[in-house]
């Protein structure tokens, strides 16, 4: 997979991976933590919605509970989606070719 994504133009850093991962945990300690059993868990952060003016929202307001659980997931997706960017063009070509065969 590394070779494929590099051929598609991505830079894949592979030296000292363990230190890089540890640094990511430190940088994102407000979102994730490593438990003693080496499992990664989302950190529970209360998001206070008191300062949000509902009149400025473009959609309906979400509960504090919903925001507390969803914000870390959305923020962590920023690291997953850049990888998907490199596969998107290839995936579209495959879908087009498959569609034309049918």
How does pLDDT run across 67-101, given as a tens digit for each residue? 777 777 777 776 666 777 788 888 889 999 998 88
How does pLDDT run across 25-73, given as a tens digit for each residue?
888 888 888 899 989 888 877 666 666 666 776 766 677 777 777 777 7
Q: Model pTM?
A: 0.48
Is residue 76 within 8 Å of residue 32, measured between CB atoms? yes
Handedness of CA 87, 73, 30, 49 (dihedral sign): positive
Domain boundaries, the chain: 2-101
Q: How far is CA 5 from CA 13, 24, 36, 73, 76, in A?
A: 12, 21, 33, 24, 20
> What SS3 class is residue 28?
coil
């Amino acid at each position: 997979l590394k070779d494929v994504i590099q051929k598609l133009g991505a830079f894949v850093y592979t030296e000292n991976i363990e230190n890089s991962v540890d640094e990511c945990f430190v940088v994102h300690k407000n979102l994730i933590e490593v438990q003693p059993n080496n499992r990664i868990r989302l950190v529970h952060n209360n998001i206070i919605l008191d300062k949000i003016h509902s009149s400025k929202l473009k959609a309906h307001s979400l509960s504090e509970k919903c925001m507390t659980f969803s914000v870390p997931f959305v923020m962590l997706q920023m690291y997953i989606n850049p990888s998907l960017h490199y596969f998107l063009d290839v995936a579209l070509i495959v879908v087009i070719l498959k569609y034309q065969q049918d």
